[in-house]
Each structure stands twice: as C-alpha cells, then as structure tokens.
Amino acid sequence: MTRVAVVGAGYSGFNSNTPDLSWKELMYEAAVRAYEDAGVDPRKDVDAFVTCAEDFWEGFAIFDEFVPDQLGAVLKPTFTVDADFLYGIANAVMIIKSGLADIAVVEAHSKASDILTFGEVIKFAFDPIWLRPIGKAHPYYFAALEKSAYMTARGYSDDVFAKVVEKNKANGRLNSDAPYAGKVTADDVLRSEAVFYPIRKLEIAQRADGAIVFVLAREEIARELTDTPIWVSGVGWWSETSNYDTMSFTAAYARKSAEMAYKMAGITNPARQIDVAEVDDRFAFKEVQHIEALKLAKSNEIPELVEGGYFGRGGDLPVNVSGGSLSVGNLLEATGGQKALEVVLQLRGEAGRRQVDAEVGVAQAWRYIPTASGAVAVFSR
C-alpha cells in the first residue's frame, strides 16, 4: 500500500485577534511557510488542494472559490471539505493513495474575531423547528447538559476537569503561540463563575484566529523531499447523528473514529502504543471524554491519573502539550490542524521547550456544538 507523509507544515496567527491580517493573508502566510518547509512550488509540484471550511463561519457560500489565489492553486483541482482539518487530511490521504495525486495540500483557518454573533451562528446548525427557537439561551447551555450527563454517568466531580484546565494552561506557558495560557490553579477554576452551569468560565476555550497548511506526499516523493517524513499512519472519521436531541453524549464519534484510524495504523493497545496525544478540549470536560473514547485510559482510572500527572508534559502519556484549545484558543475548523501540527512538531523534535519523547502521536477533533461528529489521525516517525 502507498504510504503518505507530511513533508511540510506551516501556520500563521494563533492569536485572540489579528486586525492586521485578513483571512486570506493568514492562509497565504501559512501556505508560504508550508511550501518553504517542504521545498515545493505549489504551481509546479502540487496536484490537489483541499480547504476545510464551514460557510456559516465564513459568511459566504462555496468557499473553495476564494481559495486558489492565496494557496497558489489557480487552475489546479481544488475543493472544500465542510469539516475540520483532520477530515481534510483524510481526504488528501485518499487522493494520494488512489493515485490521483503525488502531492496534496490541506488548509484550514479561523478568523473567529470577525464573527460578531457567534452564538447565533451556531444556532443555524440546530433543528429549525424544535431546538433553534428555544428561548434566547446561548448554545453553550447544550454543552452544559452534555457535561452534566457525562459527570453523572461516570461519577466524576468537577475537580478532574479543573485539573485539566490547570494542566493545559501551564503547558501553554511554554508555547509562544498560546494567547490564553496562564498560571491558573484548579482552585481558581472551581472558584470561577459557572456561566453555563455546570460549566465554569475557565473551562471554555476562547476563540482565536489562525491558519494551518500541510503538504502531503506519497512515500517515494516524500523521501526525496525530506529526511524526516512524518507518516500519516491512520485516519478515521465518524458521525453519530445530526440531531442534538437524539445524541448519546458518549463521544461515540471519537471512539469510532479512533477505531478506524487505529486499525489502519496497526494500533492495538493505544494506551501503550501512543506516546503523545492532542485531543479536542474546547470544553475542559471534553478532554476527559476524548481520552476515554480514544482508549488512552479507562474511565474509572482517569481521575486518579489526572491528579497524578499521568497526562502532564512529564507524565507517561502527555496530552495537549501545546496547551490545547484552552491555551491556544478555539480555532473552529482549524482546531484539528493545531492538534496535528503539534503532533508533527513533537515527532520531528521541533517543539522547543515543550518537547517530549515521542515516536507515535494521535490528533483528534470534534466538529463542535451541536454535532456528534469527529475525526482522528495517527502520525508516526
């Protein structure tokens, strides 16, 4: 089987606000850096381009019409995946493995600072008859319901989620691209306002701007372009339901996506074979839920492991060494890109002060409220 590797990675932004850069300029900067990293000319060398975008976030339809100029993709096959960056990785892998392309580019971005009515935009994803008209409640209340259901099912206290915030905020202090990092203790979290009970303010990732571009290539070309290819060993994606009122609230999307990716990568014991993980933590409880779903630990063990630092930067299985979304910010459809970027940097040994020892890493992303959809990618040296 044809193997596919990441041969170039570039990013721009990761700031709470980027008034000096348009979304096109963010994309352009990330693309230029990715092409320089890979040593390729997009006009001559790249065969296919994938952009990951949600039209509601962008404010206009058919987003791929706005992509070619800044990616160097004019007159090249270009299309939009209406989903997270990790779905784009999966599509690029399939394009290359099918023989349709030797080199493919994946892009995702967030210009969340331009969105003035964030909650109202989210509501467009809800059922328009029964759920969207419910009062004037912010959609985060639905995340609060999910947290409550998860806590009840597992018997967890808020302490475990507060420790997640403390860990990720501390990790982010070693990341110059983490605008929301800081010295926050679990007690600070527990004392913070429960803005969407039982979710506290410090448990919610704030929005951020940024763009990520990856260059992927089939094995023969990857080995010509770089001495350190990072292999996309497995990809997986899954959706449970499009209706919030019929969801199981068990992160089945993450479990099923991981099973698919692990099977492709030959991972049979994730808790032992995965060295580093970047999982979706846009609400603190989601990190715990996703650790369980990815089979990185058993549910009854997680509180003790979190308390003991097992998932810390110096622990046995570091999770969200980048600081996660709680430090870097909610990058919308680029969230999985930030996760994948951190894993790639770690496997390359280019993560600087936050470097850990890793040969296999996993990145996971959820498509956010009100979906039960997600994707997983396994990377290896």
pLDDT tens track for 124-165: 998 888 888 876 788 999 999 999 999 999 999 999 999 999
Residue 238's pLDDT is what? Answer: 97
Look up the domain containing 245 and give its range: 4-116+205-380
Residue 381's pLDDT is what? Answer: 95
**Does residue 230 lie in a domain region?**
yes
User: Do residues 215 and 105 make contact, with C-beta atoms less than 8 angstroms apart?
Assistant: yes
- Which pTM does this prediction carry? 0.97
**Does residue 37 lie in a domain region?**
yes
**Does residue 147 lie in a domain region?**
no
The percent of residues in the chain predicted with pLDDT above 90, rounded, is 91
Tokens 């596919």 label which residue? Answer: 4
Residue 132's pLDDT is what? Answer: 84
**Does residue 151 lie in a domain region?**
no
Residue 218 has pLDDT above 90, yes or no: yes
Residue 311's pLDDT is what? Answer: 98
Residue 243's pLDDT is what? Answer: 83
Domain total for the chain? Answer: 1
pLDDT tens track for 9-65: 999 999 999 999 999 999 999 999 999 999 999 999 999 999 999 999 998 888 888
Residue 52's pLDDT is what? Answer: 96
CATH number of the domain residue 303 falls in? 3.40.47.10
**Does residue 184 lie in a domain region?**
no
Q: Collapsing DSSP states into helix, strand and coil, what is residue 41?
A: coil
**Does residue 158 lie in a domain region?**
no
Tokens 């040969």 label which residue? Answer: 359
**Does residue 130 lie in a domain region?**
no
Residue 378's pLDDT is what? Answer: 98
Sheet with strand 209-218: strands edge to edge: 78-81, 48-52, 103-111, 209-218, 4-15, 230-239, 373-380, 360-366, 276-278
Residue 18's pLDDT is what? Answer: 94
Residue 253's pLDDT is what? Answer: 97
Residue 272's pLDDT is what? Answer: 97
pLDDT tens track for 83-132: 999 999 999 999 999 999 999 999 999 999 999 999 999 999 988 888 88
Residue 245, classified by CB atoms within 10 Å of its CB into exposed (0-12), middle (13-18) or buried (19+), is exposed
Q: Average the pLDDT over 281-302 and give the result.
A: 98
**Does residue 57 lie in a domain region?**
yes
Integer angstrom CA distances of residue 44 from 10, 97, 145: 19, 20, 51
